[in-house]
Amino acid sequence: MENKEKILEVENLCVSFHTYAGEVKAVRNVNFHVNRGETLAFVGESGCGKTATSKAIMRLWNPPFVEIKDCSSMKYNGEEIMDMDKKRLQALRGNEISMIFQDPMTSLNPTMTVGKQIMEGLMLHRHLNKEEARKEALNMLRMVKIPDPEKNLDAYPHQLSGGMRQRVMIAIALACEPSILIADEPTTALDVTIQAQILDLLSNLKKEMNTAIILVTHDLGVIANFADRVQVMYAGQIVERGTTQEIFTEAKHPYTWALLSSVPALAKENKQELYALKGTPPDLLLPLNHCPFAARCEYCMQICKEQNPMETELTGTHKVSCWLQHPDAPKVESFYDRRKK
Amino acid sequence: MGEYLVEAKNLCKYFQVDRHHTLKAVDGVNIAIRKGETLGLVGESGCGKTTCGRTLLRLYEATSGEILFDGKDISKLHGKELMQFKHRAQMVFQDPYSSLDPRMTIGEIIAEGMDVHVKLSGKERQQRIAELLAAVGLTEQFASRFAHELSGGQRQRVGIARALAVDPDFIVCDEPISALDVSIQAQIVNLLIRLQRERGLTYLFISHDLSMVKHISDRVGVMYLGSMVEMASSKEIFSHPKHPYTQALMAAIPEVDFDGEGKKTIERLQGEVPSPINPPAGCRFAARCKYATDICRQEMPKLVELEPDHFVACHHCDVCGK
């Protein structure tokens, strides 16, 4: 995985929301990269900065209410996204990087037919004429396996079911064959059987088009089955990252343990107490100079309340920000391992 | 095993869409819930889970069929007797954001049902509210707050406290956790399990989150397009599903247990749930089922007890059961 080509490099990304109550630092100094053709998953609770990060990549946040700090750097194929002007951004969005939004019910335009919405991007970015675009749109609908595509091309979003609308969203996002697809909770609003179909569809597309996918989700099951690498976010920071296998079998951060053990395993006995994290995430309005998880952590030490831990590199891919990794820290057995036994 | 607390026989609930179309939300469902157990109800959206739960509580009037509560038919109850039934059966709603009145304090919300059913003095009432809040893990101070001041998890706790206020025997939990974050879900599920142990409650737990249902339920019923296709103990149904729909549903669960083998490739269920408006004759699942034959398209299979306490509605159990 190391020698793969990096298609997106994000360094020091900071996103702040300016509210009446003050500045909410939603994303704090986040660094990561995405390789061509891989799936990178963001996981965390609501409000941890998953969506803020993914929208920042496409510069979808509007100043002055939301500010991407000047210290941030996002390089797409070596080109700085922060320095792009309006015209270049327009060409980037939907063409090279595109996004599937969370809620298929509200993110489609209710006054346009599905076909028009797919054609829009094709005509703008690939300069197709109406007829060609319509043909291509039809192909896209076939690819995402919408039944009876000729008829549904002229349907309005309200005439389609949730699963079909999500497929239309995917068709729009993939119409111009982007090299990065950001999928923000693509299956949260869907039933399990439809979710399985959509995920199969995405992984096939990934194979065929070599698209890199950034998957934002809070469903660990989806990640285990679908992602190559995982980044766990908490309070606007990445607290642990690694390959899917590393995160699920050798997690090192207490927050990751908590996430993994709060989901009931199918193989386990019924009605056992689930691990429930106490408290709530920290208020992002306040300055945070120590470990953000300290207040809810079972293994919290004095230093955790004073200083933010540095990222420790365990293997080439597995990194964790936790004071427990410090050579002088006590060796602890995770409650996640204990419960697995 | 104890006797049945809630029994529904051939329960039907139809909604008239217009003059020529009837939506058969629940069509001939048999349910029996034992005292003190949790029956999980799963299925895709639109399969009639919620309608089923609401009809059992008479929030909807059943089109036909019989509902027995503690041996008594409640579908014809009026006035005082109906009130008595509602005293014993309560509901926790899906969306903690819209199911609490934004203009009432938490104390008023919890006490509202209580005021209808039991007469308490001001002091007793206050005390009772504090007790209920403590039971769901909130402090007394919450009584004077409003719903908008609470987080999602806290609101759902209030929803549970409201249901507990009249000391019910039976609670229908309609997707109580689907609007919450993973770590908060675990808190609410733990709370529900603890309350059941302490108070001997009987639950009907409606959800589309299969692993949560497996975790909390003693028995599980699977619904498809208004009818029950399979019902068995939760262990049995997850390890040996017999109905092809249940099998497909189980295969679609993304499992967290990471085996390192990479990603599962299983035969997926194709297509979507057909419309429950004028559904096809015969087995409802026939159109998506790979075992379907002519008999499936003509005759609706009955729910039969294939093994002790394992009910399946399928014409080809012998083939697909393995």
Question: Looking at chain A from residue 55 to 94, which residues have their Cβ under 8 Å from any Cβ of chain B?
Answer: none
> Coil, helix or strand for B6?
strand
Shared domain for A106 and A69, answered yes or no, is yes
CATH number of A77's domain? 3.40.50.300
Predicted ipTM?
0.76
Residue A1 included in any domain? no
CATH number of B225's domain? 3.40.50.300
Residue B75 included in any domain? yes
Shared domain for A205 and A276, answered yes or no, is no
Residue B297 included in any domain? yes
Residue B111 included in any domain? no
Reply yes or no on whether the pLDDT at A63 is more than 90: no
Tell me how many domains chain A contains: 2
Residue B108 included in any domain? no
- Name the residue facing A263 among B256, B260, B268 (closest C-beta): B256
Least confident of A94-103, A263-272, B10-19: A263-272
Shared domain for A321 and A279, answered yes or no, is yes
Reply yes or no on whether the pLDDT at B318 is more than 80: no
Tell me how many domains chain B contains: 1
Shared domain for A281 and A171, answered yes or no, is no
Angle A179-A182-A187 from CA coordinates, rounded to 5°: 130
The mean pLDDT of B199-214, rounded to a whole number, is 90
Instruction: Quote the percentage of chain A above a pLDDT of 90.
Output: 37
Contact A193 B268 (CB under 8 A): yes
The mean pLDDT of B125-146, rounded to a whole number, is 91
| CB A225, CB B264: distance < 8 Å | yes
Residue B154 included in any domain? no
All residues of chain B having their beta carbon less than 8 Å from the beta carbon of residue A161 are 272
Question: Looking at chain A from residue 254 to 283, which residues have their Cβ under 8 Å from any Cβ of chain B?
Answer: 258-260, 262-268, 270-277, 280
Cα(B56)–Cα(B75) distance, integer angstroms: 9
Helices and strands in chain A, H and E counts: 11, 13
- Its domain, for residue B44, covers 4-102+169-184+197-254+265-320
Shared domain for A212 and A69, answered yes or no, is yes
Reply yes or no on whether the pLDDT at B256 is more than 70: no
Q: Which of B258, B261, B266, B273 to mutate to test the interface with A (most CBs of A within 10 A)?
A: B258
Reply yes or no on whether the pLDDT at B263 is more than 50: no
For A341, other C-beta atoms within 10 Å of its C-beta total 5
- Its domain, for residue A287, covers 237-340
For A107, other C-beta atoms within 10 Å of its C-beta total 16
Shared domain for A277 and A221, answered yes or no, is no
Residue B195 pLDDT class (50, 70, 90 cuts): very high
Residue A232 included in any domain? no
Reply yes or no on whether the pLDDT at B202 is more than 50: yes
Q: What is the pLDDT of residue A35?
A: 92
Residue B249 included in any domain? yes
Please name the residues in contact with B316: beta carbons below 8 A apart, sequence gap of 6 or more: B291, B293, B296
Residue A76 included in any domain? yes
Cα(A288)–Cα(A307) distance, integer angstroms: 9
Say if A37 is an interface residue toward chain B (CB within 8 Å).
Answer: no
Shared domain for A205 and A281, answered yes or no, is no
For the segment A187-216, what is each residue's pLDDT rounded down to a tens digit? 877 778 878 888 888 888 888 888 999 999
Shared domain for A255 and A323, answered yes or no, is yes
Look-up of token digits 């698209």: A211
Q: What is the pLDDT of residue A105?
A: 75
Shared domain for A11 and A147, answered yes or no, is yes
Give, as one character, the DSSP assignment of residue A297.
-
Cβ pairs bridging A and B (under 8 Å): 125
Cis, bond preceding B279 (omega within 30 deg of 0) = no
pTM: 0.83
Please name the residues in contact with A79: beta carbons below 8 A apart, sequence gap of 6 or more: none
- Name the residue facing A192 among B183, B216, B252 (closest C-beta): B252
Residue B259 pLDDT class (50, 70, 90 cuts): low
Cis, bond preceding B280 (omega within 30 deg of 0) = no
